[in-house]
Amino acid sequence: CGFLNFRMKESDMTQQKKRIGILTSGGDCAGLNAAIRAATYAAVERGWEVIGILDSTCGLMEKPYRIVHLTKEAVDGFVMRAAGTILGTTSKGSNSPLNYPMPDGSKKDRSIDFANAYHELKLEGLIVIGGDGSMGILREVSRRSGGIVKFVGIPKTIDNDVGGTEQTIGFDTAFAVATEALDRLQPTAASHQRVMVLEVMGREAGHIALNAGIAGGADVILIPEIPYKLDVVCAKLQKLRSEGRMHSLIVVAEALRDAGGKKVQTKYGDQVRYGGIAQVIAHDINAAIGAECRVTVLGHVQRGAAPTAMDRLVATASAVHAVDLIEAGQFDRMVIWKGRQVTSVPFDEALAKYHTVDVAKDSLIRTARAMGVCLGDA
């Protein structure tokens, strides 16, 4: 982890107080540090010790453990305002204790090593700030360790695709960044009478595209949940032109399938990542109606911004609630944000459903259609 350059030695740990651990796991997003800060404050305020585990579960997979003592001073000041995670993270289960990469190139189930470290550090609860993948891994580690590892989860991801919660930490900031991108694209689109195609992240969920598309005044919003027809998109662009509006803005979610129904992805070694659908759309529009198109792929810029006020609020409230759950001995639960309140649900309920845009029920679909925004299908 590149943020914190002080480590705890085991001799530093003379425990009298209740001690909890905290780690961040999966892709980073804005608001993680606000959650780490709030959990630290809430725990220290009740006289507990807080151990930060570095680089997700990796910090406990080798000795000496890579951990830090989180005090109020350590998380004061800029931390809440900073993007990224001061604890570091790993993503896509690449270093999961369930399938840990060994020096000889093999993979090994090291759940028990993680549980032993948890026990040795005398942790009385763990806060995992992660997405659905990380929560699933930690649940399995806990199960394989016979329940030694007790944890509560706080959902985070710019994708907002974790079930059970209305808003994950990081989504609001990504939404704001994507909206600002549209604000910046509009004047240049208008000046040159161009079609600007903005590709946003979100995996299989179109939340960032739908929300930013509406807030940023897009003419066309294409999300994975609604298969699009090129002729419908082109008809919309031509209609705008016939009405005298010579430029247009299109937002495309990264997991939108191409005209042949295929995902547009790139392989980096053994990892496959979305990226490139906007180029495909722009190319096809140009070929169909001759419109001059330009593409912007927003990528990780959506993750690196300072957290919005809303993300700080959700992160802070969620972290305090996570500490409350540990105090009450309520584990295997995930904190959720619902109706401007924090509460929690059992993991089984939270992870049962991947949260994509519900095309039939999401009122923002109705909002977009009523505004004349083309969603590619009609």
Which residues participate in catalysis according to the annotation?
159
User: In this chain, which stretch among 58-66, 156-164, 223-231, 286-294 interacts with ligand F6P, using CB under 6 A?
Assistant: 156-164
Tell me which residue has tokens 């907002």.
160
Q: Is 91 in the site for ligand F6P (CB under 6 A)?
A: yes
Q: Which two tokens stand for residue 109?
A: 């189930």
Q: Is 224 in the site for ligand F6P (CB under 6 A)?
A: no
User: In this chain, which stretch among 10-18, 106-114, 151-159, 257-265 interacts with ligand F6P, using CB under 6 A?
Assistant: 151-159
Q: Is 125 in the site for ligand F6P (CB under 6 A)?
A: no
Q: How far is the CB of 238 from ligand F6P (least distance, A)?
A: 32
- Dihedral pair phi/psi, residue 101, rounded to 5°: -70, 125
Which single residue brings its beta carbon nearest to ligand F6P? 201
Q: Is 158 in the site for ligand F6P (CB under 6 A)?
A: yes
| Cβ(82)–Cβ(306) below 8 Å | yes
Whose CA is closest to 206, among 161, 250, 176? 161
Q: Is 202 in the site for ligand F6P (CB under 6 A)?
A: yes
Q: How far is the CB of 209 from ligand F6P (least distance, A)?
A: 11
Q: How many CB atoms lie within 10 A of CB 134?
A: 28
Q: Is 203 in the site for ligand F6P (CB under 6 A)?
A: yes
3-state secondary structure of 224: coil
Q: Which residues contact 93 (CB under 8 A, 6 or more apart)?
A: 99, 133, 134, 137
Q: Which two tokens stand for residue 24?
A: 């961040």
Burial class (CB in 10 A: 0-12, 13-18, 19+), 15: exposed
Q: How far is the CB of 203 from ligand F6P (least distance, A)?
A: 5
Q: Which residues pair with 335 in a beta bridge?
A: 344
Amino acid in the structure at residue 320: V
What residues from 296 to 315 belong to the interface with ligand F6P (CB under 6 A)? Answer: 303
User: In this chain, which stretch among 10-18, 43-51, 196-204, 209-217 interacts with ligand F6P, using CB under 6 A?
Assistant: 196-204
Q: Which two tokens stand for residue 307?
A: 């957290």
Interface residue with ligand F6P among 111, 157, 165, 308 (CB under 6 A) is 157
Whose CA is closest to 284, among 237, 219, 216? 237
Torsion of CA 218, 222, 223, 229, to 10 degrees: 160
Q: How far is the CB of 254 from ligand F6P (least distance, A)?
A: 6
Q: How far is the CB of 168 from ligand F6P (least distance, A)?
A: 10
Binding mask 3-42 toward ligand F6P (x if CB under 6 A, else -) reads ------------------------x---------------
3-state secondary structure of 202: coil
Give the integer Cα–Cα distance in Å for 12 and 299.
41
Sign of CA dihedral 115, 120, 124, 129: negative
Interface residue with ligand F6P among 49, 113, 159, 219 (CB under 6 A) is 159
Binding mask 255-294 toward ligand F6P (x if CB under 6 A, else -) reads ------------------xx--------------------
Q: Which residues bind ligand F6P (CB under 6 A)?
A: 27, 91-92, 157-159, 201-203, 254, 273-274, 303
